[in-house]
Amino acid sequence: MASKYQAPRGTFDVLPGNAHARARVERAAAEIFSRAGYEPIATPVFEDTDLFERGVGRSTDIVRKEMFTFEDKGGRSITLRPEGTAPICRAYLEHGMHKLAQPVKLSYAGPFFRHERPQAGRYRQFHQIGAEAIGTDSPFADAEAIMLLADLLAELGVPGVELRLGSLGSPVARRAYLEELKAHLRANEGELSKDVRERIDLNPLRAFDSDDEGTQAVMAGAPTIVERLDGEDAEHFAEVRALLDTAGIAYEIDPTLVRGLDYYTRTIFSFVCEGLGAQSEVGGGGRYDGLIEQLGGPATPAVGWAAGIERILLALEEDEETAGRDAFLAVADEGQRRRALALASELRHAGLAVEVDLAGRSLKGQLKHADRVGARRVVILESEGGVQLRDMESGEQRPTDAAHLLEELGGAGR
Ligand code: ATP
Ligand code: MG
């Protein structure tokens, strides 16, 4: 039936069929975060627009084109959060977390909003899980961040994952490099796409990310920051690599790697999954040593990442999943319906997943429905207290005693 209303463009409903696979991803992430001591944090889905304009930098696409920004009734500019790092840094400062033992290790999961052209793996409301270690510049934190995401993707069984690793150096080194890069871009201005040409001064690094052929040819001959790293930046990057080597995590150095948000310094990384086509990144992140200072806090180095739940699910190709039921309570005798509901409740208290007919079906209809919901057994209540137990896999059916039902269904000792 065509309905009068549809979900807004670029959004989707999570229906019961895919909710289970989604919950599995969130559970796996929560487990990994908790085992490594990354405590959960939740921030509002909207923030003052300033937080993102300042935190994200005005030059990125995310700020220029992708934000859902509106004015609230008090005339304040509000933005639906496009990412989690700036809000978490805001909360870190607002709640004085810089006074706690550092680093403060945090994790999150929730919806994010970007006004993008919708396509497979790219939505206007999507969901991320992520982790941040705030208050340390140690390369161990970078390596640990990467290891957490690698663990998560491995544990979920995401196929064909590759890790790309790069470094943007510290702001000082980066400034010198950026001048060199801008000079290269200006020298080849004629061959660049309009978009890149207009942003030579604003965000020259993004040129590496362009899908324009002319720009790509120019960038093939461009100097890379990884070649220019020296001193502490080079040491930091070498240590991150050594730590990953020790942990047995494979990676590929990508000297042209850039990210969509421009607050990154030093380490950046991206986990891609070739099977995903154009939207190949399942997750990524890096170090953002300057962000908290930009937000008005003390100089506080930090590192983190975010992964897209929808991209992970696409890569896993297992959206549809049914939960299964321990038992379905059917009635052969209409007089048993009330008893069936009470018994279902009792069995649920004991921890069993039990369904009961709510639609007045015939016994045949109830058995069919039990099969549909994935019930392993059907308990059939007969007149005068008789109980039959039917195994849905073998089709075997035998009488049993109502008093032993719980043990029969495996509830008590579970
Ligand atoms: P992309 O290059 O794919 O646009 P990005 O650089 O914008 O990614 P981040 O801002 O780092 O990505 O977000 C982290 C993760 O969130 C991405 O790796 C991706 O899995 C997911 N993601 C980002 N934007 C979207 C979107 N519009 N729809 C679904 N998932 C998204
Ligand atoms: Mg993007």
Residues 6+ apart with CB under 8 A from 190: none
CA torsion, ordered 244, 245, 248, 250, to nearest 10 deg: 80
pTM of the model: 0.86
Point out the least confidently predicted range of 134-143, 146-155, 166-175, 342-351: 166-175
DSSP 41: -
What's the maximum distance between 2 C-alpha atoms anywhere in the chain?
A: 93
Q: What mean pLDDT is reported for the chain?
A: 92
pLDDT tens figures, 249-266:
999 999 888 877 778 899
3-state class of 375 per DSSP? Answer: strand
Cα within 13 Å of Cα(381), Cβ side: 24
- Burial annotation 341-355 (CB, 10 A radius, 16+ → b, else e): eebbeebeeeebbbb
Q: Which of 88, 128, 208, 258 to mutate to test the pocket of ligand 1 (most atoms within 8 A of CB)?
A: 128
Query: 292: closest CA among 110, 15, 90, 95?
Result: 90
Closest-CA residue to 319 (of 22, 28, 11): 22
Q: Beta-carbon neighbour count of residue 314 at 10 Å? A: 20
Distance of CA 413 from the midpoint of ligand 2 (Å): 50
Would you say residue 160 has pLDDT above 80?
A: yes
**Is residue 30 over pLDDT 50?**
yes
Which ligand 1 atom minimizes the distance to the CA of 311?
20
* Residue of 119, 270, 281, 313 best suited for mutating to test ligand 1, as the one with most atoms within 8 Å of CB: 281
Give me the mean pLDDT over the 306-322 stretch: 84
Give the model confidence (pLDDT) of 359-409 as tens digits. Answer: 999 999 999 999 999 999 999 999 988 999 999 999 999 999 988 898 888
